[in-house]
Amino acid sequence: MKKQIATLFALIGALIFIVACDNSDGKGTNPLIGHWYTTYNDRAVSLRIDENGTGEATFYIYDGQKWEKKRSLLQYTVSNNNIAIKAGKDYTLSGRMAITGASFSITNDNEVSMFTGYDGNEEIIDKLKADIEINFDENGKDDSSTTNPDGEEDDDPTTILPPDNVVQDDFWYSESEVRAFLASAYIKTVSFEISQLNIENIRITGRNLTNHEATITATTPEVMECWRSVYDAIGTCNAIIENANEEFVNLIKEARALRCLLYYNTAHLWGKTPYMTATDIENAVNSPILSKEEIFDRILGEIDEIGTFETEYSSNNYRIDEETLRAIKGEIHLAKGEYETALSYFRNCTPSFYLSMTGGSFESYHAILGDEIALYTPEYIELMRYEAENAEETLSQWEMRDTPAYGYWAMLKRIGKAQGICGCEEHELLMPIPKEELIYNRNLTQNPGY
């Protein structure tokens, strides 16, 4: 049965791989972005493929009397034409695909599955469901099922279990695949940091990174992009933490460390936000909404739990490490006004953590941000140490740095200078929750003033 499930999700993974690549016509828009469907003996499957490498799989499962609808979020990564995807809580796999026109197929160990494009209209799904019902006899048994010589049902290669059935693929036992997922998490973190610098620059100067006038509201596209990108990165970290084989302990700890960085910044930007630690869609909607202080405490506790770990290359400045976590702990204590504790972490702290801009679709920001974004460096530690000892003089030290810079907006808020320098109101010290997210997650409430 595991191979059967892998067939479907290898197809999904391969599909998303094609979406992530450029079109041969150079238009930059892939026709596979949208909705696709397929049917199996007792179910229909609909895929929604998004441009950002994520999406959603919806399963319509018939038991002979009633229909059940289940949804799972999709994530993916690509490495040397090898596609790896995580769908929902329990499905992980990899695969390759071929495409012709509006149909595409996946061949996996001589097994073939087909999907067809459609416009997302539920009427199409209703017709598929009607056809599936016809294939069931009066007892609710699928007439199309087959049996082996012993009278038992064959293991149909097109069978798909609903997402709640626990089936673990060998994917998470492959170190190369786990590393590929971790690489994807870093790329998504770069997207988030660009978005973060963008909305912070809008708040500080009234202009975005490309020097166009902009404002911050609950419907500002830049705000939604920042929110989406950070939770996209968090979701990929969660997939690794939740599923990777325990033997890859350093990679799991690295994913946890990266998640700490991401959650620190969500708390700084929005205050209260969902604290997600799993990948299924139910968890996404029902995750606790934690205040900034609660998130800070969670991060401090998790960093202590992570303890010692090693990155793959000790000289690689593009990987988060223990020194970076030490710096984040110090910065959290600085934000809490615990200056002596912060200083204890800053002493002898020498992180060198940058995010590379050479991968992904970041070309338009190279001229603005350069080839890398400096996050935690000895220079940044020195600025925070200076702030802990003499907050009133901190601004003059920052003025010697190029802006936009990571940590500048957070520093302005910590020393109480944000409103005077930026001309913003008190409620604007926090960013608005995107309007679309309030509609999706009823547990969220808008930050005051928006």
Tens digit of pLDDT for each residue in 142-191? 444 433 333 344 333 223 322 333 334 556 778 887 888 888 889 889 99
Which tokens is 349 given? 């702290």
- Residue 81 pLDDT exceeds 70: no
Full strand arrangement of the beta sheet holding 103-108: 91-95, 82-87, 67-79, 55-62, 43-49, 34-40, 111-118, 103-108, 98-100
pLDDT band per the 50, 70, 90 thresholds, residue 15: very low
* pLDDT (0 to 100) of residue 448: 96
Q: Where are the domains of the chain?
A: 2-170, 174-440
Which tokens is 1 given? 């049965």
404 or 409, greater pLDDT: 409
pLDDT (tens digit per residue) in 87-134: 666 555 555 655 555 665 555 555 555 667 788 888 888 888 888 887
- Residue 57 pLDDT exceeds 60: yes
Identify the helix (H) or strand (E) that includes residue 76.
Answer: strand 67-79
Topology of the domain comprising 174-440 = 1.25.40
Which tokens is 352 given? 């060198």
Identify the helix (H) or strand (E) that includes residue 289.
Answer: strand 289-290
- Residue 22 pLDDT exceeds 70: no
Which tokens is 199 given? 């909305």
167 or 52, greater pLDDT: 52
- Is residue 169 within 8 Å of residue 2, measured between CB atoms? yes
56-65, 141-150, 411-420: range with lowest mean pLDDT: 141-150
DSSP 59: E
231 or 146, greater pLDDT: 231
pLDDT band per the 50, 70, 90 thresholds, residue 273: very high
- Residue 420 pLDDT exceeds 50: yes
pLDDT mean across residues, the chain: 78
Cα separation, 381 vs 306, in Å, equals 21
Backbone angles phi, psi at 434, to 5 degrees: -55, 140
SS3 449: coil
- Residue 430 pLDDT exceeds 70: yes
CA atoms within 13 A on the CB side of 405: 17
The alpha carbon of 331 is separated from its chain's Cα centroid by a whole number of angstroms, namely: 24
CB atoms within 10 A of CB 85: 30
* pLDDT (0 to 100) of residue 49: 74
Concatenate the DSSP letters of all residues of 327-343 into one string: HHHHHHHHHTT-HHHHH
How does 90-124 read in b/e, with b if 16+ C-beta sit within 10 Å? bbbbbbebeeeeeebebbbeeeebebebbeeeeeb
For the whole prediction, is pTM greater than 0.85?
no
Max distance between CA atoms of the chain, in angstroms, equals 84
Cα separation, 36 vs 74, in Å, equals 14
What average pLDDT score do residues 252-265 get? 97
- Is residue 327 within 8 Å of residue 350, measured between CB atoms? no
What average pLDDT score do residues 283-306 get? 91
- Residue 316 pLDDT exceeds 50: yes
What average pLDDT score do residues 370-382 get? 94
- Residue 4 pLDDT exceeds 60: no
What average pLDDT score do residues 66-82 get? 69
143-147, 156-160, 192-196, 261-265: range with lowest mean pLDDT: 156-160
- Residue 2 pLDDT exceeds 80: no
* pLDDT (0 to 100) of residue 23: 36
Question: Hey, do 2-170 and 174-440 end up sharing a CATH topology, with the first three levels equal?
Answer: no
Topology of the domain comprising 2-170 = Lipocalin (2.40.128)
